[in-house]
């Protein structure tokens, strides 16, 4: 029997690591798996259309209501696994890398690197907390490797989850706490009429353990 499983998610390294760990744990002589890095709309579409069993993403205290409405419209429900706080990802060479805490005002002279969601995507689809704050310098990208390289090359920054392993897509990055009251809610979406498959349940169990293990507050 051929095992089948697919997961979509926003651009977090902990997704990749959890997926790989799940594949190794399940094993088998034959399988057809898929891991898909997506925009927020892409995650919603994949799960709603049955292309992926579940989709990993985050809500914030400022985007939760709008995202929940979008999930509901698509026939999905959101399951929260952990709460965390936003952190600033910086290159190790950045002059503010040793700060205990940073504000966005302190970073206004540095380029803000973020994941592009699409020209017509609403602001609440952003993968970064406080994405609606005005920035003088910003650069959009569509993949994890480019984001990390641009941060290092341009002495830039991004705002990420408090899950340290999900930030360090390159050895040159580190994180500093962001001075904000905004909270992050990390979890997954699944179709309202669906239950997790045995492989899906194993993935979620491993994901939750990774999130708890690597969360920074």
What was the pLDDT predicted at 166? Answer: 43
Burial code (b: 16+ CB inside 10 Å, e: under 16) for 158-197 equals bbbbbbbbbbbbbebbbbbbbebeebbbbbbbbbeeeebe
CATH number, domain at 120? 3.40.190.10
Please indicate whether residue 212 or residue 159 has the higher confidence score (pLDDT): 159
157 and 209 belong to one structural domain: no
Q: Which helix (H) or strand (E) holds 52?
A: none
157 and 95 belong to one structural domain: yes
202 and 174 belong to one structural domain: no
21 and 60 belong to one structural domain: yes
Whether this model's pTM surpasses 0.85: yes
In sequence order, the 6+-apart residues with CB closer than 8 A to the CB of 154 are: 111, 113, 139
Please indicate whether residue 166 or residue 21 has the higher confidence score (pLDDT): 21
* Count of domains forming the chain: 2
In sequence order, the 6+-apart residues with CB closer than 8 A to the CB of 24 are: none
What was the pLDDT predicted at 172? Answer: 74
Mean pLDDT of 25-45: 94
Helix spans in the chain (H)? 13-26, 40-48, 64-73, 144-154, 198-214
> Is the per-residue pLDDT at 217 higher than 80?
no
Q: Closest Cα to residue 81, out of 36, 15, 160?
A: 15
Confidence of residue 13 (pLDDT cuts 50, 70, 90): confident
Mean pLDDT of 51-62: 96
Domain membership of residue 150 as a residue range: 85-178
116 and 160 belong to one structural domain: yes
CB count in 10 Å sphere of residue 106: 13
In sequence order, the 6+-apart residues with CB closer than 8 A to the CB of 6 are: 33, 34, 35, 36, 46, 51, 52, 53
198 and 138 belong to one structural domain: no
Whether 183 and 83 have beta carbons less than 8 Å apart is answered as yes
Q: Hey, is 60 helix, strand or coil?
A: strand
55 and 128 belong to one structural domain: no
CB count in 10 Å sphere of residue 47: 27
92 and 133 belong to one structural domain: yes
43 and 89 belong to one structural domain: no
63 and 147 belong to one structural domain: no
127 and 157 belong to one structural domain: yes
Q: Tell me the range of 106-110, 116-120, 127-131, 212-216 where mean pLDDT is highest.
A: 106-110
Q: Hey, is 122 helix, strand or coil?
A: coil
22 and 55 belong to one structural domain: yes
Mean pLDDT of 63-71: 97
């Amino acid at each position: 029997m051929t095992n089948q499983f697919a997961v979509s998610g926003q651009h977090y390294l902990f997704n990749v690591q959890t997926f790989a760990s799940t594949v190794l744990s399940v094993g088998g002589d034959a399988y057809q798996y898929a891991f898909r890095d997506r925009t927020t709309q892409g995650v919603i579409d994949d799960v709603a259309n049955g292309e992926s069993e579940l989709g990993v993403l985050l809500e914030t205290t400022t985007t939760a209501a709008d995202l929940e409405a979008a999930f509901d419209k698509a026939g999905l429900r959101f399951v929260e696994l952990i709460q965390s706080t936003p952190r600033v990802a910086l290159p190790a060479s950045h002059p503010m890398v040793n700060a205990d805490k940073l504000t966005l005002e302190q970073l206004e002279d540095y380029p803000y690197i973020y994941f592009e969601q699409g020209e017509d995507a609403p602001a609440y689809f952003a993968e970064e907390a406080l994405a609606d704050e005005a920035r003088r310098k910003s650069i959009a990208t569509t993949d994890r490797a480019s984001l990390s390289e641009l941060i290092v090359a341009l002495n830039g920054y991004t705002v990420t989850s408090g899950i340290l392993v999900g930030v360090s897509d390159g050895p040159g990055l580190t994180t500093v706490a962001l001075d904000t009251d905004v909270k992050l809610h990390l979890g997954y979406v699944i179709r309202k009429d669906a239950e997790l498959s045995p492989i899906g349940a194993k993935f979620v169990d491993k994901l939750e353990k990774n999130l708890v293990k690597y969360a920074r507050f």
